[in-house]
Amino acid sequence: MTGTNGTNTTNTTSANDDLRARFGAAFMPNYGVPPLALARGEGSRVWDVDGNVYLDLISGIAVSSLGHGHPALVEAVSAQVARLAHTSNLFLHEPEVLLAEKLLELLGADARVFLANSGTEANEAALKIAIKYGKTHGRSYFVAAENGFHGRSMGALALTGKAAIRDPFGPYALDVRFVPYGDAAALEAAVTDECAAVFLEPAQGEAGVVPPPEGYFAAARRICDATGALFVADEIQSAVGRTGAWFAFRHELGEAAPDVLTLAKGLGGGLPIGACVAFGPHGDVFAKGDHGSTFGGNPVSAAAALAVIGTIEKEGLLDQVTAVGERLAAGIAAVGHPLLAAGDAGVRGRGLWRALVLTADRSAAVEAAARSAGFLVNALQPAAVRLAPPLILTPDQAGSFVDALPAILDAAAEKEN
């Protein structure tokens, strides 16, 4: 047990060890055994089952946008689960209508919404729209980016450009052609009038929070306009304030928009929800009976998403994310350490969606050293450490990580990875 962000001690007969052993015995090995069992959270801090406290700089992979136990989320979810937890799509309910209307208001566009339970399902909906669009317009293939991530179902996985997670489960029924991310000329060469849709992230999240070169997303919009391919923006990780804007495509496209947009992670603030938004005529591609979900857009998750969006508005979190994100990045860039790329190259991303860029494949050691120092971060790639804290992170909390970073990097440099 320690105070805030002190050095956490490892107990030999800890509750963590016990739960980890039981997890390892009861679950399939697909996640390995995570390093900690978390018990509770408050604001941007979480406690493990042994009582150690951590500043949460990953928020369950960019999900817990309001941090933990935010009163607005607790109130919305508690009230809704007590009133009505589920209707299925045989009946409608007010929270889902309010949520869809709110998303359309934020987008300021003529569009229609489908609600799902997860990012993968949001992308499956987008893919089915693209397949149907392709069939009615003689378009038979798809384009996606190398190293892109779109989910683990057989459709979303077919679009995922990472060989290690894609190849073991192929071949796939879809013709998906992969292009290097950020290369507009390669995209232009790959997209013809026989291409049904292009799937792209506004910055590649799982690949290491890798932003494209300036103008890439706008070039993708132009290429899709010129050929008639649908432009699908996968904003499952990047939207709902994560970059300091409601939608990251706003940084890239200005007033233009993709044809289809997918959302999930931060939208529900910890409750499972995904959304697929299709603009203009594409909102009418699905006919009655074409798609569905028993749980999708359930009242509790919809109420959670409304609370997340309402709180971001009420607390001015978009501006706060921009300001705290810039302070965090500037602080990291000023650290100066042999294990961190020098200066501005040591950190990439936007808002509170960042990666530390290491000079060696030591991210696992950095993650472990940060944990020992009381900070949860994510070893995303061998040389990239992801930071995706709650949107409520304060400047002081960001500063506390920057202050601790030199010692964390020292410890990581000494340790076996």
Instruction: Kindly tell me which of 178 and 397 has the beta carbon lying closer to ligand PLP.
Output: 178
42 appears as a binding residue in the annotation: no
121 appears as a binding residue in the annotation: no
Footprint of ligand PLP (CB under 6 A): 118-120, 123, 149-151, 201, 205-206, 234, 236-237, 264-265
SS3 content of the chain, % helix, strand, coil (to 5): 40, 20, 40
112 appears as a binding residue in the annotation: no
The per-residue DSSP string of 282-320 comes to: GGG-SPTTS---SSTT-HHHHHHHHHHHHHHHHTTHHHH
> Least distance to ligand PLP from the beta carbon of 388, Å?
10
> Least distance to ligand PLP from the beta carbon of 407, Å?
31
> Least distance to ligand PLP from the beta carbon of 97, Å?
23
- In this chain, which residue has its C-beta nearest to ligand PLP? 119
**Rounded-to-integer distance, Cα 211 and Cα 189, Å:** 21
**Rounded-to-integer distance, Cα 46 and Cα 59, Å:** 10
152 appears as a binding residue in the annotation: yes
Contact 161, 147 (CB under 8 A): yes
What beta strand segments (E) does 183-258 contain? 195-200, 230-234
119 appears as a binding residue in the annotation: yes
118 appears as a binding residue in the annotation: no
The three-class DSSP label of residue 144 is strand
Instruction: Kindly tell me which of 234 and 252 has the beta carbon lying closer to ligand PLP.
Output: 234
Instruction: Kindly tell me which of 340 and 388 has the beta carbon lying closer to ligand PLP.
Output: 388
Instruction: Kindly tell me which of 116 and 306 has the beta carbon lying closer to ligand PLP.
Output: 116
**DSSP at 267:** G
Instruction: Kindly tell me which of 145 and 195 has the beta carbon lying closer to ligand PLP.
Output: 145
Instruction: Kindly tell me which of 119 and 270 has the beta carbon lying closer to ligand PLP.
Output: 119
Chain centroid to CA 53: 24
Instruction: Kindly tell me which of 116 and 408 has the beta carbon lying closer to ligand PLP.
Output: 116
236 appears as a binding residue in the annotation: yes
221 appears as a binding residue in the annotation: no
> Prior bond to 171 cis, omega within 30?
yes
Please report, for residues 36, 112, 205, 254, 380, the alpha-carbon distance to residue 409 in angstroms, rounded to integers and kept in the order given.
21, 47, 23, 38, 16
**Rounded-to-integer distance, Cα 291 and Cα 70, Å:** 34
**Rounded-to-integer distance, Cα 159 and Cα 236, Å:** 14
> Least distance to ligand PLP from the beta carbon of 352, Å?
15
**Rounded-to-integer distance, Cα 131 and Cα 158, Å:** 13
149 appears as a binding residue in the annotation: yes
> Least distance to ligand PLP from the beta carbon of 283, Å?
21
Residue 273 CB-density burial (10 A; 0-12 exposed, 13-18 middle, 19+ buried):
buried
> Least distance to ligand PLP from the beta carbon of 201, Å?
5
Contact 122, 224 (CB under 8 A): no
> Least distance to ligand PLP from the beta carbon of 260, Å?
13
Q: Which residues define the annotated binding site for N(2)-acetyl-L-ornithine?
A: 152, 293
Q: Which residues define the annotated binding site for pyridoxal 5'-phosphate?
A: 119-120, 149, 234-237, 294
Q: Which residues define the annotated binding site?
A: 119-120, 149, 152, 234-237, 293-294
